[in-house]
Structure 1
Amino acid sequence: MRWTIKPKPDAAKVAELQNALQVDEIVAKLLLQRGITTFEEAKKYFRPQLSDLHDPYLLKDMDLAIARIEQAIANEENIMVFGDYDVDGTTSVALVSSYLQSYYPNVTTYIPDRYKEGYGVSYAGIDYADDNDISLIIALDCGVKAVDKVAYAKEKGVDFIICDHHRPGATLPNAVAVLDAKRNDCNYPYDELCGCGVGFKLIQALGSKRGQTIEDLVPYLDLVATAIGADIVPITGENRVLAYYGLQVINSTPRAGFKAIINQIKKDVLTITDVVFVIAPRINAAGRMVHGLHAVNLLTETNLEQAEEFAAAIEQYNADRRELDQEITKEALVQITDNKEEKHFTSVVYNENWHKGVIGIVASRLTETYYRPTLVFTKSGEKLAASARSVKGFDVYNALEACADHIEQFGGHKYAAGLTLSEAQYDGFKKEFEKVVTKTIDPNLLTPEITIDAELNFNEISPKLMRIIKQMEPFGPGNMSPVFMAENLQDTGYAKGVGQEEAHLKLAAVQNGSNPIGAIGFNLGNKLPLVQNKKPFSAVFSLDENEWQGVVSLQLKLRDIR
Structure 2
Amino acid sequence: MNKRWTIREVPAEDAITALAGELNIDTVLSTLLLHRGITNYDEAKYFFRPDERHLHDPFLMKDMEKAIERIETAIANGEKIMIYGDYDVDGTTAVAVVYSFFKNHHGNIEYYIPDRYREGYGVSTQGIDYAAENGFSLIIALDCGIKSVDKVAYANTLGVDFIICDHHTPGEELPAAVAVLDPKRADCSYPFKELSGCGIGFKLAQAYAEKNGLPFEEVAKYFDLAAVSIACDIVPIVGENRVLAFYGLQKINTDPCIGLKTLMGVAGKSATYTISDIVFLLGPRINAAGRIDDAKHAVELLISCNEDEAKDKGELINLHNIERKEHDLSITDQALGMINDSQILIDRKSTVVFNEKWHKGVIGIVASRLTEKYYRPTVVLTQSNGHVAGSARSVLGYDLYEALCGCSDLLIQFGGHKYAAGLTMHPENVEAFMAKFEEVVSASITAEQLTQQIQIDAELRLTQIEAKFFRILNQFGPFGPENMSPVFISKNVYVSSNPMLVGQNHLKMSVMHEGSALFDCIAFNHGEYLDKIKKDVPFDICYSIEENVWRERRTIQLNVRGIRV
Report the TM-score when normalising by structure 2: 0.97
Of 306, 323, 342, the match for 1:320: 323
Aligned to 1:532, the other structure's residue is in SS state: coil
Of 302, 306, 310, the match for 1:307: 310
Shift of the alpha carbon at 1:514?
3.7
Of 329, 335, 339, the match for 1:336: 339
Of 273, 276, 287, the match for 1:270: 273
Shift of the alpha carbon at 1:561?
0.6
Shift of the alpha carbon at 1:263?
2.1
**Could you say if the C-alpha distance between residues 513 and 205 of structure 1 is closer, same or farther in structure 2, counting changes exceeding 3 Å?**
closer
Q: Deviations along 1:280-332, whole A, 9 cap, x unmatched?
A: 11110001111111111000110011100000000000000011100110000
Of 395, 400, 405, the match for 2:399: 395
Q: Which moved more, 1:88-97 or 1:455-464?
A: 455-464
Q: Deviations along 1:54-87, whole A, 9 cap, x unmatched?
A: 0000001000000000011111110000000000
Aligned to 1:40, the other structure's residue is in SS state: helix
Aligned to 2:559, the other structure's residue is in SS state: strand
Distance (Å, rounded) in 1 between the aligned partners of 2:467 and 2:561? 21
Aligned to 2:116, the other structure's residue is in SS state: coil
Q: Which moved more, 1:49-58 or 1:266-275?
A: 266-275
> Is the Cα–Cα contact under 8 Å of residues 488 and 512 in structure 1 kept in the other structure?
no
Q: Which residue of 2 aligns with 1:185?
A: 187
> Is the Cα–Cα contact under 8 Å of residues 160 and 175 in structure 1 kept in the other structure?
yes
Aligned to 2:260, the other structure's residue is in SS state: helix
Q: Which residue of 1 aligns with 2:462?
A: 458
Q: Which residue of 1 aligns with 2:152?
A: 150
Q: Which residue of 2 aligns with 1:448?
A: 452
Moved over 4 A (4+): none
Question: Is structure 2 residue 488 aligned with structure 1 residue 484?
Answer: yes
> Is the Cα–Cα contact under 8 Å of residues 486 and 538 in structure 1 kept in the other structure?
yes
**Could you say if the C-alpha distance between residues 106 and 353 of structure 1 is closer, same or farther in structure 2, counting changes exceeding 3 Å?**
same
Letter in 2 for 1:399: A
Q: Which residue of 2 aligns with 1:74?
A: 76
Distance (Å, rounded) in 1 between the aligned partners of 2:177 and 2:557? 54
Q: Which residue of 2 aligns with 1:494?
A: 498
Aligned to 1:530, the other structure's residue is in SS state: coil
Distance (Å, rounded) in 1 between the aligned partners of 2:532 and 2:189? 54
Distance (Å, rounded) in 2 between the aligned partners of 1:480 and 1:148? 39
Of 16, 19, 24, the match for 1:17: 19
Q: Which residue of 1 aligns with 2:252?
A: 250
Measured on the aligned residues, the alpha-carbon RMSD in Å equals: 1.2
> Is the Cα–Cα contact under 8 Å of residues 137 and 161 in structure 2 kept in the other structure?
yes
Distance (Å, rounded) in 1 between the aligned partners of 2:47 and 2:397? 28
Distance (Å, rounded) in 1 between the aligned partners of 2:53 and 2:341? 58
Distance (Å, rounded) in 2 between the aligned partners of 1:392 and 1:497? 30
Question: Is structure 2 residue 182 aligned with structure 1 residue 175?
Answer: no
Letter in 2 for 1:313: L
Distance (Å, rounded) in 2 between the aligned partners of 1:268 and 1:250? 11
Of 212, 215, 218, the match for 1:216: 218
Q: After TM superposition, list the pairs within 5 Å mapping 1:6-45 onto structure 2.
A: 6-45=8-47
Q: Which moved more, 1:261-270 or 1:424-433?
A: 261-270
> Is the Cα–Cα contact under 8 Å of residues 530 and 537 in structure 1 kept in the other structure?
no
Q: Deviations along 1:372-402, whole A, 9 cap, x unmatched?
A: 1111111102111110111111111111111
Q: Which residue of 2 aligns with 1:132?
A: 134
Q: Which residue of 2 aligns with 1:51?
A: 53
Aligned to 2:532, the other structure's residue is in SS state: helix
Q: Which residue of 2 aligns with 1:358?
A: 362
**Could you say if the C-alpha distance between residues 528 and 513 of structure 1 is closer, same or farther in structure 2, counting changes exceeding 3 Å?**
farther
Distance (Å, rounded) in 1 between the aligned partners of 2:480 and 2:520? 25
Letter in 2 for 1:295: A
Distance (Å, rounded) in 1 between the aligned partners of 2:515 and 2:211? 65
Question: Is structure 2 residue 296 aligned with structure 1 residue 293?
Answer: yes
Letter in 1 for 2:527: G
Shift of the alpha carbon at 1:512?
4.0
**Could you say if the C-alpha distance between residues 424 and 561 of structure 1 is closer, same or farther in structure 2, counting changes exceeding 3 Å?**
same
Distance (Å, rounded) in 1 between the aligned partners of 2:173 and 2:209? 31
Gap runs ≥5 in structure 1: none
Q: Which moved more, 1:169-178 or 1:14-23?
A: 14-23
Count, aligned residues: 560
> Is the Cα–Cα contact under 8 Å of residues 498 and 535 in structure 2 kept in the other structure?
no
Aligned to 2:155, the other structure's residue is in SS state: helix
Q: Deviations along 1:158-189, whole A, 9 cap, x unmatched?
A: 00000110011111110000001111111111
Of 209, 214, 221, the match for 1:207: 209
Q: Which moved more, 1:308-317 or 1:242-251?
A: 242-251
Question: Is structure 2 residue 471 aligned with structure 1 residue 467?
Answer: yes
Q: Which moved more, 1:6-15 or 1:51-60?
A: 6-15
Letter in 1 for 2:35: Q
> Is the Cα–Cα contact under 8 Å of residues 494 and 511 in structure 2 kept in the other structure?
yes
Distance (Å, rounded) in 2 between the aligned partners of 1:322 and 1:115? 19
Distance (Å, rounded) in 1 between the aligned partners of 2:79 and 2:201? 20
Q: Which moved more, 1:458-467 or 1:58-67?
A: 458-467
Distance (Å, rounded) in 1 between the aligned partners of 2:411 and 2:145? 23
Q: Deviations along 1:503-549, whole A, 9 cap, x unmatched?
A: 00111222245443221101111122331354321111011223445
Shift of the alpha carbon at 1:14?
1.4
Report the TM-score when normalising by structure 1: 0.98
Of 433, 440, 444, the match for 1:429: 433
Distance (Å, rounded) in 2 between the aligned partners of 1:551 and 1:290? 40
Shift of the alpha carbon at 1:8?
0.7
Letter in 1 for 2:302: L
> Is the Cα–Cα contact under 8 Å of residues 376 and 388 in structure 1 kept in the other structure?
yes
Q: Which residue of 1 aligns with 2:99?
A: 97
Aligned to 1:85, the other structure's residue is in SS state: coil
Letter in 1 for 2:307: L
> Is the Cα–Cα contact under 8 Å of residues 142 and 197 in structure 2 kept in the other structure?
yes
Letter in 2 for 1:329: T
